[in-house]
């Protein structure tokens, strides 16, 4: 496996509370799963994906967790096109112009 170098910007993962340690007042589905955490920071030692590591976060805190990825990327977007939205604008303009819409 590829080694990720000390100082790299990485994303980590950890379990904060096991399902048995969670608050007693939870819906059944939530009770069954652990409380999990993700954070990002600078890797403190060379490591491989999956290793337990320490990172220094943007506020200079040392946080431990499992190494997930290097240079984590934002992948949120405008999603897949939702065709149901398209006719709305044309319909409203038609109504404003006094015609009846056929959208």
3-state SS, one letter per residue, for 16-45: EECHHHCCCCCCHHHHCCCEEEEEEEEECC
**In terms of DSSP bridges, do strands 62-70 and 9-17 run parallel, antiparallel, or are they unpaired?**
antiparallel
Q: Which residue of 5, 6, 7, 21 would you call a contact of another protein, by CB under 8 A?
A: 21
Element (H, E) at 88: helix 86-97
**One residue of 8, 44, 54, 91 binding another protein per CB under 8 A:** 91
List 34, 46, 50, 70, residue binding another protein (CB under 8 A): 34
Residue 64 is a binding residue for another protein (CB under 8 A): no
From the list 59, 71, 99, 102, which residue makes contact with another protein (rule: CB under 8 A)? 59
Asked if residues 37 and 3 have their Cβ atoms less than 8 Å apart, the reply is: no
Rule CB under 8 A: which residues touch another protein?
16-17, 21-23, 25-27, 29-30, 32-41, 57-61, 74, 76-82, 84-85, 87-89, 91-93, 95-96
């Amino acid at each position: 496996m590829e080694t990720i170098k000390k100082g790299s910007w990485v994303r980590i993962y950890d379990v904060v509370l096991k399902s048995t340690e969670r608050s007693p007042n939870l819906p059944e589905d939530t009770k069954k799963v652990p409380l999990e955490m993700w954070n990002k920071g600078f890797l403190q030692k060379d490591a491989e994906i999956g290793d337990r590591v320490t990172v220094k976060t943007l506020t200079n805190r040392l946080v431990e967790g499992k190494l997930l990825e290097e240079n984590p990327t934002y992948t949120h977007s405008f999603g897949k096109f939702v065709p149901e939205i398209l006719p709305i604008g044309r319909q409203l303009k038609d109504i404003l112009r006094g015609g009846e819409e056929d959208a």
